[in-house]
Amino acid sequence: MPDAKLQSVLSSLSQQASELNALPSICTMPDARCVKLDTNENPFALPAPVMECAVAALERQYLYPQDDNISLREAAAKAYGLCRDQVIAGNGSSELLGLIYKAFLSPGDAVAMISPGFAFNRKLATLQGARFLEIPLTEAYLLPTEQLLFGPAKDAKFILLANPNNPTGMFLPVAEIESLVAQSDRLIVLDEAYVDFAPDNALRLLDRYSNLLILRTFSKSYAAAGIRIGFGLGHPELVGRLRNLQNVFNMNVIGHAVGIGILSHREAYEENHIHIKRERQRVCVALSQLGFSVTPSNANFLLAQVPPGQDGTWWQASLKKRKILVAVFPEDGLENCIRVSIGTRAQMDAFLTAVRDISGRLQHDPGR
């Protein structure tokens, strides 16, 4: 029989929380032998001087971290050519996204995102009781400025863009983004998580437009996904209000130290970025030769439509049997795609070997 006390407790949940199912308590951990290419990590060690910062921080483990992340914010401001009050730091850009939703949305409000995009935004909208509007790019892969300003998203409290986009890897010219920001009087949140693999960024727009907030993370291009370091960059009035919503001591001492270390040694990552761009091109060519249709990417991953006759889920399962993990997506238009992160050369060799093996078996047995 149902537990009456539990049912009483659950009935007291907010409407937003009640719409979310309880997460299962048992999650399957990936086999340590797997080549993990499904979550866009950068699988390289921290450079030596950054690692030294992390080790030194462990000697201060008994102290609370610096409140309001002042030193980390100062380091980011210096690196990005901003003032400290234009910077908020958090546990990855995902924490900062959550603050933006809390600050701007009430039940019944709307938020708009260019689609396809980061699926976590749907959950954040649900938690605020907000409507989540997904606006696709035009057929020519141009920013749908008219729809965002005057169409379905005209009443959205803020608009989410990602450049380069995840999961497609496509990059929009900064001039297109500036045109939208200039014409809108709403907040434009620009996620530049993958921008270090792209040809340009929008930092120069911050001093021109007070309605632009740029998000950065060290999870992708700086190999620190497990340490959780992210930044929001924008007008001091906006950033200051978001900082006031943060939890006290929201980041830990290792995150502070590694973040400052990365910002002081960004040149140490140049070879890392060059490697990923080269491997991205090599894998793109190889997949194309095997019958995949690969979307040009400016990120550390590739979105590839699988050859005719099978869908993305089938390929994901087939690769998993060979200890290769890739991502798939349920959205319309992506069901026949896989997304593969770019890792070490050995990892990409293993991935391509598995793809060639599967492709060869399909040629000999098309009914598989």
| pLDDT at position 251 | 96
pLDDT at 1 over 50: no
CA-CA distance, 215 to 209, in Å (whole number)?
A: 15
Percent of the chain's residues with pLDDT above 70: 96
| pLDDT at position 25 | 67
Q: How many residues does the chain have?
A: 368
User: What average pLDDT does the segment 336-354 reach?
Assistant: 98
CA-CA distance, 150 to 134, in Å (whole number)?
A: 15
Tell me the pLDDT tens digit for each residue of 105-143: 999 999 999 999 998 999 999 999 999 999 988 766 789
CA-CA distance, 245 to 88, in Å (whole number)?
A: 11
Tell me the pLDDT tens digit for each residue of 137-189: 876 678 999 999 999 899 999 999 999 999 999 999 999 999 999 999 999 99
Helix (H) or strand (E) holding 115: strand 110-115
Neighbours of 149 (CB within 10 A): 15
Which one has a higher pLDDT value, 312 or 142? 312
| pLDDT at position 29 | 66
pLDDT at 300 over 50: yes
Distances 98 to 90, 116, 242 between C-alpha atoms, Å: 11, 19, 10
The token duo for 241 is 């209000």
Which residues, at least 6 apart from 335, have a Cβ–Cβ distance to it below 8 Å?
A: 311, 312, 313, 328, 329
Q: Is 255 left (phi over 0), alpha (psi -120 to 50) or beta?
A: alpha
For 126, what's the count of Cα atoms within 13 Å in the CB-facing half-sphere?
11
User: What average pLDDT does the segment 194-214 reach?
Assistant: 97
For 225, what's the count of Cα atoms within 13 Å in the CB-facing half-sphere?
11
Whether a cis peptide bond, with omega within 30° of 0, leads into 164 is yes
Sequence spans of domains, the chain: 27-44+269-362, 48-264
The token duo for 324 is 């290769």
Distances 2 to 5, 7, 8 between C-alpha atoms, Å: 9, 7, 11
User: What average pLDDT does the segment 295-324 reach?
Assistant: 95
With bands split at pLDDT 50, 70 and 90, how would you rate the model's confidence at 28? low
Neighbours of 344 (CB within 10 A): 15
User: What average pLDDT does the segment 185-212 reach?
Assistant: 97
pLDDT at 26 over 80: no
With bands split at pLDDT 50, 70 and 90, how would you rate the model's confidence at 294? very high
Tell me the pLDDT tens digit for each residue of 231-246: 999 999 999 999 999 9
Least confident of 24-38, 64-78, 141-155, 220-234: 24-38
Beta bridge partners of 304: 294, 338
| Phi and psi, residue 122, nearest 5° | -65, -40
Which one has a higher pLDDT value, 87 or 31? 87
Percent of the chain's residues with pLDDT above 90: 83
CA angle (341 as vertex; 340, 344 as ends), nearest 5: 125
Beta strand 301-305 pairing with 337-341? antiparallel
pLDDT at 366 over 60: no
CATH architecture observed for domain 48-264: 3-Layer(aba) Sandwich (3.40)
User: What average pLDDT does the segment 339-359 reach?
Assistant: 97
Determine the 3-state secondary structure of 336 from DSSP: coil
Q: Are 230 and 47 in contact (CB under 8 A)?
A: no
| Phi and psi, residue 118, nearest 5° | -70, 110
| pLDDT at position 330 | 87
The hierarchical CATH code for the domain 27-44+269-362 is 3.90.1150.10
Closest CA to 315 of 272, 349, 351: 351
Burial of 43 (0-12, 13-18, 19+ CB in 10 A): middle
Q: How many helices (H) and strands (E) does the chain have?
A: 13, 12
Tell me the pLDDT tens digit for each residue of 217-233: 999 999 999 999 999 99
Q: Are 328 and 313 in contact (CB under 8 A)?
A: yes
Neighbours of 19 (CB within 10 A): 12
